[in-house]
Amino acid sequence: MAERERAIVLVSGGLDSAVVLALARARGLACHALSFDYGQRHRAEVRAAGRVATSLGAASHRVVRIDLRAIGGSALTADIAVPRARRAGAGGIGSRAKRARGASAIPVTYVPARNMVFLSLAAGLAEVVGAGSVWIGVNAVDYSGYPDCRPAFIRAMQRAIGAGTKAGVEGGGGGIRIETPLIRMSKAAIIRAGSAAGVDFGLTHSCYDPSPRGLACGRCESCAIRSRGFEEAGVADPTRYVSRRG
Amino acid sequence: MAERERAIVLVSGGLDSAVVLALARARGLACHALSFDYGQRHRAEVRAAGRVATSLGAASHRVVRIDLRAIGGSALTADIAVPRARRAGAGGIGSRAKRARGASAIPVTYVPARNMVFLSLAAGLAEVVGAGSVWIGVNAVDYSGYPDCRPAFIRAMQRAIGAGTKAGVEGGGGGIRIETPLIRMSKAAIIRAGSAAGVDFGLTHSCYDPSPRGLACGRCESCAIRSRGFEEAGVADPTRYVSRRG
């Protein structure tokens, strides 16, 4: 039997990246999962990443530590309060209506240049293991308005990886492709695709501000987007909340 | 007095980045130095970065820890032997002749995607401190053939930073520029420029494989390029070697 083609999959422990891993596995790829411990408040995410990688049959799982707190600037890594989401339809932080208003849409939970750092490290790992692609669960529909989730950013990073890596420069196999299967999907569509591909969403963690026991707060923006996605998908939400948002 | 414009300067502790810091300071910028402890064999570099930042009047100096050993793939971070440079003129690892031969020119000391990771983190810090530029001492003349030192890579990263950062998207000040003052200079020209700008090269560290006391090996590629640069510049080499190469 021929060796399977290898891929790097960025697995955060959240819902989206679990669906990405399931989709990459469904293509028959040998998936090397990569997670980051970057001093985030919600480290329950890193534990969830390990559960997700195992349950979906990743070939390996690495956790790279980066001390992003030395840089700061985000509610997810510094001492800035995580805001509560406003109600859907009332211009909540993650809503399309709010983003359409323009410049002020990037929230305090934005971690400066996070996906740029993560994609760079994934490209490095792709070189080391001989992977032809890097998979990332960015989404430019039901998302938080972070600039590093948009197609223009992904295209620019694809060029940087082509120009800045040994695989890109030496060619022979076409270098390293960035795969973003979720980028144009709604959260509900992502949840339906994940359900069909066998993702156990109960293993995933999305909350920015979980309880010490790892329960979701039900109040932050990430909880709000996730909860609305399950409603719209018509899929039962297995998330364990401390309290419901309201 | 108006507040000075801020810049992020990547300071490795090596010769080139010390010259970059001196040039940015000479422009009157408030320079925030950024270094990385990435599990490199040559940690003497990180200590040298602190000495350089202090001596050249950096406004701050941060050291971000990233465990690149979890990724591996380089003689600088994994258990791969650091090669000795061959003699200049005989097709040494870092020579222009060798690189002109093509594909096999990227050496084992290449750290996969290193400058992509470093520039990404520098862009993040630039957002946090409100800096308008990121300065990096890449050089595409007397260098090691690493793909992430070339102008095509820097241009691609400039686009990625424009598309993927809050500063780039929200505009108002033109985002974050990458400044590469050394990219077209020979090592000798870099050394002369640094001399003129007051760099104390005795504080810098270039060796990939230093002794436990931090003395340069005099045999690795980095020592060879540095030593040849001082010779060609007609500047006295203050480097403390364990032994001379030869």
Instruction: Please give the class, per CATH, of domain B6-83+112-206.
Output: alpha beta
CATH of A6-233, one of 3.40.50.1950, 2.60.120.10, 3.40.50.1370, 3.40.50.620: 3.40.50.620
- In terms of DSSP bridges, do strands A30-37 and A60-65 run parallel, antiparallel, or are they unpaired? parallel
Report yes or no: B20 at the A interface, CB cutoff 8 Å.
no
Residue B98 has pLDDT above 90, yes or no: no
pLDDT at B231: 96
Nearest residue in chain B measured CA to CA from A129: B73
pLDDT grade, residue B143 (50/70/90)? low
CB–CB of A100/A94 below 8 Å?
no
* Side chain identity at residue B155, one-letter code: R
Lowest mean pLDDT among A75-89, B2-16, B42-56, B192-206: A75-89
Picking from B35, B68, B121 by the largest number of A CB atoms within 10 A of its own CB, the best residue to mutate is B121
Interfacial A residues in 40-79 facing B (CB < 8 Å): 62-68, 70-73
Exposure b/e, B167-195, CB count within 10 A at least 16 = b: bbbeeeeebbbbbbbbbebbbbbbbbbbb
Measure the CA–CA gap between B144 and B107, rounded to whole angstroms.
7
* Segment B177-233, tens digit of pLDDT: 999 999 999 999 999 999 999 999 999 998 888 888 888 999 988 899 999 999 999
Task: Give percent of chain B above pLDDT 70.
Answer: 78
Interfacial B residues in 177-236 facing A (CB < 8 Å): none
- The token pair that represents B81 in the structure block: 């032997």
Phi, psi of B66 (to 5 degrees): -135, 130
Most confident stretch, A105-119, B68-82, B87-101: A105-119
Taking an 8 Å cut-off on Cβ atoms, the answer to whether A160 and B157 are in contact is yes
Taking an 8 Å cut-off on Cβ atoms, the answer to whether B106 and A166 are in contact is yes
pLDDT grade, residue A188 (50/70/90)? very high
pLDDT at B226: 93
Report yes or no: B145 at the A interface, CB cutoff 8 Å.
no
Q: How many angstroms separate the first and last alpha carbons of chain A?
A: 55
Residue B75 has pLDDT above 70, yes or no: no
Which residue among B127, B128, B160 places its CB closest to the CB of A153? B160
Phi, psi of B16 (to 5 degrees): -60, -50
Rounded to a whole number of angstroms, the distance from the CA of B138 to the nearest CA of chain A is 12
pLDDT at A71: 79
Picking from A10, A38, A66 by the largest number of B CB atoms within 10 A of its own CB, the best residue to mutate is A66
Report yes or no: B112 at the A interface, CB cutoff 8 Å.
yes
Residue B52 has pLDDT above 90, yes or no: yes
Greater model confidence, B84 or B70: B70
> Dihedral of CA A135/A137/A141/A147: which sign?
negative
Helical residues (DSSP H) of A41-113, grouped into ranges = 44-55, 96-100
The reported pTM is: 0.84
Residue A174 has pLDDT above 80, yes or no: no
Residue B133 has pLDDT above 90, yes or no: yes
Average pLDDT of the residues of chain A:
83
| Domain positions in chain B | 6-83+112-206
Q: Residue B93 belongs to what H/E stretch? A: none
Q: Residue B147 belongs to what H/E stretch? A: none
Residue A80 has pLDDT above 60, yes or no: no
Contacts for A143 with CB less than 8 Å, ≥ 6 apart: A94, A149, A225
> Mean of the pLDDT values across residues B147-164?
92
CB–CB of A139/A16 below 8 Å?
yes
Q: How many angstroms separate the first and last alpha carbons of chain B?
A: 54
Q: Residue B158 belongs to what H/E stretch? A: helix B151-164
pLDDT at A41: 65
* Segment A10-25, tens digit of pLDDT: 999 999 999 999 999 9
Report yes or no: B165 at the A interface, CB cutoff 8 Å.
yes
- CA distances for A236 relative to A22, A149, A159, A243, B143, angstroms: 19, 27, 40, 17, 57
Taking an 8 Å cut-off on Cβ atoms, the answer to whether A66 and B64 are in contact is yes
Measure the CA–CA gap between A22 and A137, rounded to whole angstroms.
11
pLDDT grade, residue B89 (50/70/90)? very low
